[in-house]
């Protein structure tokens, strides 16, 4: 089968491409604009790890440029699409909202248009737990209130969900959105908590912990995320009696305080962290916790990697890649 993966040089995109290309029957086209939001060397290193796989091709392309995306899509004719390309990071969206309009709104519209014009069997796209506001009940359920996201990033992801629903309803395009919860692991983004914390601990620098370290996060290991994405991808939503559209949470369902997360990293690294306990950030929610009932019932998704094992694997990779 032919699978198009956007954001292929990104954290989750790389792991999806790696897993798909391990199967001889899969032909994968990865696209990414390789922007410099974070170190491009890390993105190129991920792509280098995919070199030599005959069933993987990479094209540098910005899906926010409609003509380029449409041409690639029409030429490749994907059976399935995994749309992971986006501008991420809750706090960055406070100061750089224009980047989110370009990638998450205009770019996502281009993906929907390409799917309408040349429909694949199924398109799975990345949403986020950030669509849930501070008043959402714990654990977060897919039917819970998402009308008041606290960040502009979360607002763009909520917009993606409503845009996708309209295309499913109007054009019969099969679409599933996945609300990711705090993904971590080897090859992770340098702007996320695990990498930022690990770098600071190794360097003896101070870690700013907002909400005095009491914020609780549903950290989910990358292998569990990859398993879930691919399970969902192969089971498109039904067209009848409703539009072929679904939303699933995909997380771990065991949130921990960020202070405990740091303590676990301290033990694995063998050094003590310097902490600066600060008040909450206005764009942050106090807690994230995914209800997994719906995705488990649909595709049998159950996370298997404990935080202890996942962090151990992450630290091993961190030492090998960054050589602190």
d(CA 177, CA 179): 7
pLDDT of residue 154 exceeding 90: yes
- Give percent above pLDDT 70 in the chain: 99
Q: What are the CA-CA distances from residue 113 to residues 21, 49, 168, 271, 290 (Å)?
A: 27, 31, 11, 51, 30
Q: Per-residue pLDDT tens for 206-222?
A: 999 999 999 999 999 99
* DSSP code, position 205: P
> Can you give the pLDDT at residue 311?
98
| Domain membership flag for residue 282 | no
Residue 166 located in a structural domain: yes
The answer to whether position 310 is within a domain reads no
Mean pLDDT of 298-317: 98
Position 67 pLDDT exceeds 90: yes
Is residue 9, in this structure, part of any structural domain at all? yes
Of the pLDDT bands very low, low, confident and very high (cuts 50, 70, 90), residue 198 is very high
Model confidence at 241: pLDDT above 90: no
291 domain residue, yes or no: no
**pLDDT, mean of residues 120-138:** 92
Looking at per-residue pLDDT, the higher value among 134 and 56 belongs to 56
pLDDT value at 239 more than 90: no
Residues designated as active site: 153
* Banded pLDDT at 282 (limits 50, 70, 90): confident
pLDDT at residue number 202: 97
Check whether 25 has a pLDDT greater than 80: yes
Mean pLDDT of 235-264: 92
- Mean pLDDT score of the chain: 96
- 289 inside domain: no
Mean pLDDT across the stretch 86-103? Answer: 95
Q: H-type helices in 77-176, by residue range?
A: 92-95, 97-100, 107-117, 152-171
Q: What pLDDT sits at residue 22?
A: 94
188 inside domain: no
- Strand, coil or helix: 261: helix
pLDDT, position 318: 98
Torsion, Cα 82 318 128 104, to 10 degrees, reads -60
Q: How many CA atoms lie within 13 A of 255 on its CB side?
A: 21
pLDDT beyond 90 at 88? yes
Domain that holds residue 81: 2-181+220-251
Distant-in-sequence, close-in-space partners of 10: CB < 8 Å, separation ≥ 6? 32, 43, 46, 84, 85, 189
> Is pLDDT of 157 > 90?
yes
Residue 268, in any domain of the structure: no
Question: Which helix (H) or strand (E) element contains residue 44?
Answer: helix 40-49
Q: 203 pLDDT band (50/70/90 cuts)?
A: very high
Helical axes 66-76 vs 107-117, angle rounded to 10°: 30
Q: How many domains does the chain have?
A: 1
* pLDDT for res 24: 85
Q: What is the CATH number of the domain that holds 64?
A: 3.40.50.720
């Amino acid at each position: 089968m032919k699978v198009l993966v956007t954001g292929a040089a990104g954290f989750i995109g790389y792991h999806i491409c790696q897993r798909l290309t391990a199967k001889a029957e899969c032909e994968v086209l990865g696209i990414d604009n390789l922007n410099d939001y974070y170190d491009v060397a890390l993105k190129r290193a991920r792509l280098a790890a995919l070199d030599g796989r005959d069933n993987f091709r990479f094209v540098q392309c910005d899906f926010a440029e409609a003509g380029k995306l449409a041409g690639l899509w029409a030429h490749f004719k994907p059976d399935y699409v995994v749309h992971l390309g986006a501008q991420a990071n809750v706090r960055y969206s406070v100061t750089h909202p224009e980047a989110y309009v370009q990638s998450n709104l205009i770019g996502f519209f281009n993906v929907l248009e390409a799917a309408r014009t040349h429909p694949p069997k199924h398109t799975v796209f990345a949403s986020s737990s950030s669509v849930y506001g501070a008043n959402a009940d714990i654990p977060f359920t897919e039917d819970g209130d998402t009308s008041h996201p606290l960040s502009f990033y979360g607002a763009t992801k909520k917009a993606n969900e409503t845009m996708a629903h309209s295309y499913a309803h109007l054009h019969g395009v099969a679409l599933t959105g996945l609300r990711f919860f705090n993904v971590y692991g080897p090859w992770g983004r340098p702007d996320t908590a695990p990498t930022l914390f690990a770098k600071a601990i190794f360097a003896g620098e101070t870690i700013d912990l907002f909400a005095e370290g009491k914020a609780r996060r549903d950290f989910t290991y990358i292998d569990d995320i990859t398993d879930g994405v691919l399970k969902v991808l192969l089971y498109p939503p039904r067209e009848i009696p409703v539009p072929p559209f679904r939303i699933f949470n995909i997380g771990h369902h065991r949130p921990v305080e960020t202070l405990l997360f740091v303590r676990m990293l301290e033990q694995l690294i063998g050094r003590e962290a310097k902490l600066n306990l600060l008040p909450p950030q206005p764009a942050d929610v106090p807690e994230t916790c995914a209800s997994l009932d719906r995705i488990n019932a649909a595709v049998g998704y159950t996370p298997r990697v404990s935080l202890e094992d996942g962090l151990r694997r992450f630290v091993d990779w961190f030492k090998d890649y960054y050589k602190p």
